[in-house]
Amino acid sequence: MIFQLPSISSFVTKKALSLFLVLFSVVTLTAQEVIKDQPTKEAPKTDSSKKMKVDGVIATVGDYIILDSDIDKAYLEIASQGGSVKDITRCQMLGKLMEDKLYAHQAVQDSVKVTDSEVKAMMDERLNYMTEQLGSMDKVVSYYKKNNEEEFRTYFFDILKENKLTSEMQKKIVDDVQITPEEVRNFFKKIPKDELPVFGAEMEVAQIVVKPKISDADKQKVIDRLNGFKKEIQEGSSFATKAVLYSQDPGSRASGGYYKMNRKTPFVKEFKDVAFSLAEGEISAPFETEYGYHIIYVEKIKGQEIELRHILLAPKVTEESLQEAKEKIALIRKRIVDKEITFAEAARTLSDEKETRANGGTLINPKTQDTRFELTKMDPSLYAQVSNLKENEISSPIPEELQEGKKQFKLVTVTNRINEHTADYAKDYTKIKELALKEKQIKAIAKWFDEKIKDTYIKIVGEYRDCVFTNNWLKK
């Protein structure tokens, strides 16, 4: 959503609200057209006043124009996502659209690479989601007021490509911004005491997981079934159709098991190792990951990227295995309560969750990558499990149902509670470092805008010339 800010302290917000929007907002899908073959530093030869009457052009940024109707579409997009637009003026919205255009224009000038195949993969993923939400492609086309699917796809492709250029340019600007401990210290010292941020109540949580065991016979059934699929596909059946009908991967099933990846894409190691060992057109033997058993078909290899399809099947868990897991975790809890073993020792030696086992079961917050969870931002299901626990109290065994019907049992405990408090440099260094880095990124963004606005052809027409912008679009 365009104008949604991350949770940060008010003193940073006061300094640079607009630039935070630039740096951290999501690019809204708005319809702008590209001016073909127009010089970037000279005014277009077309009479701008006549063009305003014909098609509603209100601004030009480099090779891009913005229509008056684009502002209306941006409002609709925010509203469709449940956002409020009552406090967003048309001038503010135009300023944001111009920022996006400058990013995209400069990305092209800097030869930032966005391939058509990359955009097509993004589009397929978005369209799958949109058709699921609205019910059919016809309804998607109607929602965007297009005449047919082909017209909509062309329109949508251009928007996604521009959005990708914008996000890649933003990333390029801030990626090289680093911060030293000395800069963090100086940042903190400059904050007046009465403006120090207040951090909400937090807790650190650990867990022990016991997963039901699956028999070798049940594993072999799944392997045999996948081998059967492989044989049928090699004889002419469609891999994509098999994936739609049988794969248990909710993330790719609707698109026929399709993924595009490179070696940096965050897939589990076993999956990546097999994928990058295959030749184009080859189908793997069944192999195991933590999610179950897979077969992979490599459709295309393009340099360091591959396009593939896969089918995932998970062996079924018997009631007997479920009962054994339940009894095991109850016994682990009893041993901890009886002080035969500590929670951390039990996690290291008895937990089936490899991600937390080495840390004594301590959970890592996926948003901050540290061990603290702010209560107001905690996942609701985890909060429900730990909110009533006293420090170092151990929960009763908790049954958990995962995706595709998988089940497991776990114990959770709160290892540390941190009450709401004013920022403390020693205790809150990670959070303070994040705020200091954001401020430095803001300055880098501001400097970039100042430089690029000077070097780019920019024109605003009509009543929008009276707007008060954060950036110097009118070059006064």
| Span 198-229, pLDDT tens digits | 998 999 999 999 999 988 999 999 999 999 99
Which pLDDT band holds residue 42 (cuts at 50, 70, 90)? very low
**Tens-digit pLDDT profile for residues 151-187:** 989 988 988 898 899 999 999 999 889 999 999 999 9
pLDDT given at position 155: 86
Asked if the model's pLDDT at residue 408 lies above 50, the reply is yes
Cα separation of 466 and 476, whole Å? 12
- The first and second tokens of residue 27, run together, are 């690019």
pTM: 0.58
CA angle 306-307-313, nearest 5°? 115
Which pLDDT band holds residue 411 (cuts at 50, 70, 90)? very high
Per residue in 434-450, is it b (16+ CB within 10 Å) or e — as a string?
bbbbbbbbbebbbebbe
Which pLDDT band holds residue 49 (cuts at 50, 70, 90)? very low
Higher-pLDDT residue of 274, 117: 274
pLDDT given at position 46: 38
**Tens-digit pLDDT profile for residues 131-161:** 887 888 888 888 878 899 999 899 889 888 9
Residues 6+ apart with CB under 8 A from 447: none
pLDDT given at position 18: 38
219 in Cβ contact with 402 (< 8 Å)? no
Higher-pLDDT residue of 306, 116: 306
Q: What average pLDDT does the structure give for the chain? A: 84
Which pLDDT band holds residue 7 (cuts at 50, 70, 90)? very low
pLDDT given at position 26: 36
Cα separation of 356 and 358, whole Å? 6
10 in Cβ contact with 196 (< 8 Å)? no
- DSSP assignment string, 356-403: HHTTTTB---TTTSSSEEEGGGS-HHHHHHHTTPPBT-BPPPEEEE-G
Strand order across the 202-210 sheet: 372-374, 202-210, 407-418, 398-401
- Single-letter code of the amino acid located at 350: L
**Tens-digit pLDDT profile for residues 345-366:** 999 999 999 889 999 999 999 8
pLDDT given at position 39: 36
The whole-number average pLDDT for the span 386-405 is 85
